[in-house]
Amino acid sequence: MTQFFDAGKLADDLHALVSDAEALLKATAGQAGEKAAEARERAEESLESLRERLSDMEGVVRGRARQVDGYVRDNPWQALAIAGGVALLVGILMGRTK
């Protein structure tokens, strides 16, 4: 089975995880106890850290996408040749694995 990396799906999954964790924290806010409060505080700190890293990652990915878009617009024939070469190599490799 071949798996492909999908950055968009990963970002969506991370956003969903953060939202679910926030909902869980809000739902358990009424729970009493020192240990529950400490665990909730650590979870909130972890969520904030994850949110910041996710935001940074999105910024980097958007910047790289703009760079690639600019390169392709400036060099369409080169980009086409590179894509064709990569497709040829993938085709050759896939043909060998059968």
Q: For residue 42, what pLDDT is reported?
A: 79
Containing structural domain, residue 26: 7-96
Q: For residue 4, what pLDDT is reported?
A: 55
Which residues in the chain show pLDDT less than 50?
1-2
Q: Which CA distances in Å does 5 have to 2, 24, 41, 89?
A: 10, 29, 33, 19
Domains: count for the chain: 1
Q: For residue 1, what pLDDT is reported?
A: 40
Q: For residue 2, what pLDDT is reported?
A: 45
The answer to whether position 1 is within a domain reads no
Q: For residue 88, what pLDDT is reported?
A: 94
The answer to whether position 13 is within a domain reads yes
Q: For residue 77, what pLDDT is reported?
A: 94
Q: For residue 84, what pLDDT is reported?
A: 94
